[in-house]
Structure 1
Amino acid sequence: MSGWTLPGFTEVKALGEGGFGRVVLARQEGTGAEVAIKYLYAEHLADPRLVAAFRQEARVLSQVVSPYVARLHEFIETPDGAAIVMEAVPGVPLSAILTAEGELTPEAALVVLKGSLLGLSAAHAAGVVHRDYKPDNVLVRPDRQSKLVDFGIAVLAGETGLSVGTPGYMAPEQWAGNAATPSTDVYAATCVFFQCVTGHRPYEAADREALRNLHAHAPIPFGEVPEPLWRLVERGMAKDPAARPGTAAIFLSELESAAVAAYGPDWEDRGWTRLAQRAGALLAVSPLAMLAGATMLAPAGTGAGAVAGSGGVVAAGAGGGMLVKAGAILVGAALVGTGAVIVVNSTGEDPPPEAPPPAVEQVALTADVRTRTENFGTFDFNGQYVAISGLGDPAVQNRVNEALMAPVDDWIEYVREINPDPATDTPHLSTQAEIRRQDDKVLSVKYTRRIDSMQFGNRGGYSVRGVTLDLKTGDVLTTPEVFADAATSQSGATALEERLLARSPGGFCGGQTEHEPMGPHHLTQPYTAGDGDPAVQAVFAADAVEFDVYGSAFGGPMACDHQTVVVPYPDVADLMTAEAAALLGTGAAPPAEQRLDLGFFTLTVPQEWRLSNESSTGRLLARSADCVREGCPGVRIAYGSAVEHEPGRPCAPAGAPGQVTTGAERLKQELRPFGTKKAAYEEWRITCSGGADFVERSWTLPKTGMIFADDWNTPGLDQILERATWR
């Protein structure tokens, strides 16, 4: 050990060195928590470019929050040194596994690619391109998880720069120094996938220039992988970035469809069996073996009540040399996430067989809200879409996913055809996707689409589109097909209008009851902005039809915007076709409970609860379908972020509007059951400025980085968490 070290930490083991700095395993004094610390070499402190690059790595880590990415705990910069304190990950590099195995089974290679794409997807959602995806930067864990590490040369999507990266995995545009996009990472991930399956990189050459020419011009060697995987390699390694999947999330959807079609619904379990076993064997003989049994520590007994992974990036002033923390450290299963190569000695023999893991319930179908980001030169897109996986029929699943992507593709194509003027402004396109119904028969999604640009009107472009799918056939179920009489006759349209007005007595335009009568054309003909959606569309929830009505289509001013009219199924059942009524149901009570998949585990919650989309602050599990924003009654779910007790938060849970919190006192600290595992449970009394108070409860989960925080004394939450089903 040499040079400056971070106060409050004791170095345990050296883990690796490179041209930029060294990485050590360290233990925090007082808590005993093990972390990985990456120190910038002292000789680099005088180089502003290298210090800025080191700072940028920490900043990128703070933005990318995912269970599939090693997370940042702290960044410290003083006149004496700079350090990044990272999550420690119990895994070994994929490169070590490939050295030991030579090549992987197709299922195991697909498992590696899936985990990597999940990590890259989180980075892309944060607007970050990794640019150095390679086997050294994928850590495989014996507990069937993997993590992406080392964002040292990551950039924001769309940035240009030097052709940095690892040559064997660099995309053609990366060699040329052109803009880095998420598809640049898709190319590298596909190259690594090819290597996993075949035992060698897609292109090999003796010198750098020859290798560059191969990546830029040589045919894609997809024929060397099993035939069911040809299309994945061909798509992922396309020379033109526009011909590749635009994001890791899109490629992930294609991967899962191909994997199920080729290797069956249990492909992932088979792939992990050998992979996890080999990771365990290599970990046992690595410098990190001593920490393989580390467990989550209880939070330190400070008034701050902070927990792991605040993700803050803080630098001390140049003159003071004072260490400034970005958040107190509480580490779960502790091992390194550094990207350094771990040298191991392996006999090549398998370890003794272990007892099989306990059986877990398999959920056949999952629907996820994902993010897609693309830059088209004169405009850009950053929005949500829904994709499914686990459907028994791959052909049907492909049709469903194509239909779910169509609202995004159509929105982009609408702007492309208009050809916006870059001299005026750059239009920013976005979509919000809400899953309104998901069961074994039907998936119904509402897309809200926006364009931020004066070239599309004073308020920009705006459109709503509903997509409802029959999961048995993959067919799209349109509003005219469900309400066929209303779409073909005036009498049918009038009957439907009466049912809607009964639920919206103020009319379709904010109290203006006088309007143009509803006619069949309101359900069938294009009206709204964009690619022309009808003025009346239906989205189907579990117990009601949610009609989106564009008020200005009925003779009102443009200020009459979209309005949602919710009509229970019994009120419109007689207006539906028999086939649609049989598929959607016509009045049966909705299920009392629903299952929510949170990745590591599944929760069973009341039917009316809603889970919001991920944001920079996490997610909200709200107790009402009508309120899923921050501040609504419900449970906050954070990913590696501190449960905040700092003064100044609104005191809404105490029924004290206008008041803010002024202090916090810990009342309880213990372990409580969370499914078959234990969570670190705490209770805090939060005091408000006017004298009111409320109790906040929190559950910090081992290994996942997830924290459940309940400010509203949510009824039955204890029992819900105790019944969690882990994967």
Structure 2
Amino acid sequence: MSGEWALPGFTEVDRLGEGSFGRVVLARQDRTGHLVAIKYLFARHLDDPRLVDAFRQEARVLSQVISPHVARLHEFIETPQGAAIVMEAVPGVPLREILRSDGTLDPEAALAVLKGSLLGLSAAHHAGIVHRDYKPDNVLVDAQRQSKLVDFGIAVLAGQAGLSVGTPAYMAPEQWSGNTASPATDVYAATCVFFQCVAGHRPFEADSTEVLRNLHAHAPIPFGEAPEPVRGLITRGMAKNPAERPASADAFLTELESTAVAAYGRDWEERGWGRLAQRAGALLALSPLAMLAGASVVAPAGAGAAAVAGSGGVAAAGAGGGVLVKAGAILAGAALVGTGVVVVVANSGEEPPPVVQNVALQVNTNTTTDRAPGSTVDVNAQFLTVNGGSDPAVVQRINNALREPVDRWVAYISRSAPEWGPNTEGPPSIGTDATIGLHNDDLLSVRYTHKVANPPHSTWTFKTSALTFDLHTGDLLNPDKLLRPEKLNPPGMAELAEVLWPGGDPCGEKTGTPAIPVDTLTDPDSIERPVEALLTPDGVEFAIEMQSFGGSTACGVDETKVSYDSLGGLFAPGVLAKVDAVPPSSAPPSSRTTGAAVKLDVGPLTLEVPPTWTRRSQGLEQVIVDAAECADPVKYFNCRYFMVTDNTKANAEQPAYVPGKPYRRSSNGRACNAAGRKDLWQNGNHTLQEATETQVGGRPARFERWTVECVPRDANGGVGEVRVTQRIWFVPDSDVVIVDEWDVPGLAGMLNSAEWN
């Protein structure tokens, strides 16, 4: 429509939907060519504080809920001319369209959709947010066997009361009267939609809203119209009293899994997604998003693609990872005029930093830029988030802890310097830099370095916050958890001090070695803890506030790195076993020396490799890289390596390898690193150059050599500037795949002489 405000730097491609609140369009970012979905608030609502605040609230909520089952926010922009939410997405169709086309779903398909939705709702609930408007319009289904939860426009914090808003056909009894919203409120709506999927109609229908309200509040639950095996789920999920429903999406998900397996077998989900994905693909072909179906979605590593809809619109495919920043930094080459910016979530416009290790739980770097509440101090702080994995509760627990040091840092400044500014040189600001020390299948260890630009006094310095997580449980391993319990006493602390300061007081202010009180290791403060410990592949980096140990202010922070060998009997064996440490000799982990070579255990195989080769886990893949050639073998993607992968295991981020095709165990595609072009992707034409029968460790194998063209990420086919050669060994009896894009010398011989564990 002519005269409507549009974001500078984006060109509208198609209109996807429109309602009373706003419109949703498919747009292309002019600078990068990436496609995104943009949700615009109608200009006529800009003078309505209630509606503008609701629009801001949706952006705030989306910035807090991080899950592959929830739409991901890129940017929120508000100027005097208009307001817009920019979101990433994958091609998808609303569940409403599938029900309109098919009427009902098989129980397994309905359970699959409900499971994906509960995973998305779980992420919201762990962030303390209730959706309040779950309905078929807000569940997007794609042809890649995933569903995405969208549209948090009327979400509230759990435990808060709100206006009586929502979609009447799916509103819980407590929601009609504006009573306290809870996760059980969303469980009710999700169960109503599940009933509609299996019964072919909504559980309660009426011409009058008041009659519909009474039906939800008092009418018997029509569970008898659903297939017998799932009636219990409907009865529990639609209980009139929220206390009688599953208390959370997590609890309901547990009931769903047990019910589905008991009624339909362990492969219920595979069957459920079979026809559902086909229907989504067929309907997508009729939408403006059909052109995106074959394109790679540019998203944060491991974030999974997200979908966005609104006002009845369909999803769009998007680009880039979301980070929290201030206005003016969000659009390259476009200046936003005016004031009144409230919340901005934006793509940084730069390549995302490399993921240290692409494991099942992957790490993204984000930035929050805002003003410390109640002060004149600006914030520019990095923080990390994780995504992926099979347990959303673990992911949310880790993400909450990863954000806490930044929030505490900002709160500390707000309390300490409410009027900071008049005595500083230039704008006062604070920040945090995030560093990943160790990331493998079991552990994540990160460091936040807090900083002050233009402080009121030159002596204002702040040290670091270090966080180490057990990725299986989400537990935070504070410094005391890294040491043996029997060492948490004065003699043990004296032993640790001797390891840290073998030459005595590092400040040179006292004789002897400073004492380390045990309580300094257990201090819960996440921004001024006296002792911080960052795990790395080859040792522990300690940052110690010497003033806490009797040192002067001038002594500051002592930073010392100690090898795991030096820590000896101090370090907790259970943690050390998960570190996968690089020994001082640089011999690879899990290896046994045999002369000039070592035997390296890689999944089901034992390979004889040069002594400098080491193994790194990358989710379902084992990466073998030459540590001598690679300056940082953790960031191996620019170094020569090959991979061994168990094809019996797969997930949404790493689908199974398909024999007879190039290797592509990544839903986000593969970059052309081996050709020296990580800006290009292996999305172009591919040609089979060689196919022969061979052996791996005495077992029959299929060898194939493919040439794959390197093209821009959004391309689908075509000839590129450069190409990558893939060498693939597939062992069908063991379902093991070995792939090499770097022409690793001697690899064929290593595989021929391999041993099977």
Query: TM-score with structure 1 length normalisation?
Result: 0.49
